Amino acid sequence: MSQIRLKKSAPRLKAPANACLMRYRAPPTRAQHQTRRLGERVSGCSPRCGNFYRETPLAAGAIAFALGALIGGVTPLSQPERDRLRGVVDKAARTGADLAERGARMVGDGLESAVH
C-alpha cells in the first residue's frame, strides 16, 4: 500500500524539486554580485592608500595609532595583566573619584556665588 502511494506522489513532488534545483542553478544572486563589486572596490583602494601614506605620513601614523588604541581598549585583559595593573587601577580610580568630587564642589561653590 505504501509503495502505491509513493508511486502516485512521486510525479507531484518532481515539479517542486525541479523548481528548487533551478533556483540554485540560477545566475549569480544579488549577494554574489555585491560581493564581487566589493572585491573590485577594495582592490582599487590599495593604490589610494599608498598615495595617502606617502602624501601624509603623520596622519596615516595617527590613524594607525588610534586603531591600535581602539583594539587594545576593546580587548579584554589577561589574568597576569590584571594582577600587575591592580595597584595602578585602584590608584587611578581613587584619583578619578577625588577629581570628580573636587569638580562637583567647585560647581556647587560657583552656583552659590552666582546666586548670592
Q: Give one DSSP letter per residue of 10-53, joined into a string.
A: HHHHHHHHHHHHHHHTSSPPHHHHHHHHHHHHHHHHHHHHHHHH
Name the residue among 27, 37, 1, 59 with its Cα closest to residue 51.
59
Residue-wise pLDDT for 42-68, tens only, equals: 777 777 777 877 888 898 889 989 998
CA-derived radius of gyration, the chain: 33
The pTM for the full model equals 0.34
CA distance 62 to 84: 28
Res 102 pLDDT > 80: yes
Give the up-direction half-sphere exposure of residue 38: CA atoms within 13 A in the CB hemisphere: 6
Average pLDDT over residues 88-116: 82
- Give the pLDDT confidence score for residue 56 in this predicted structure: 85
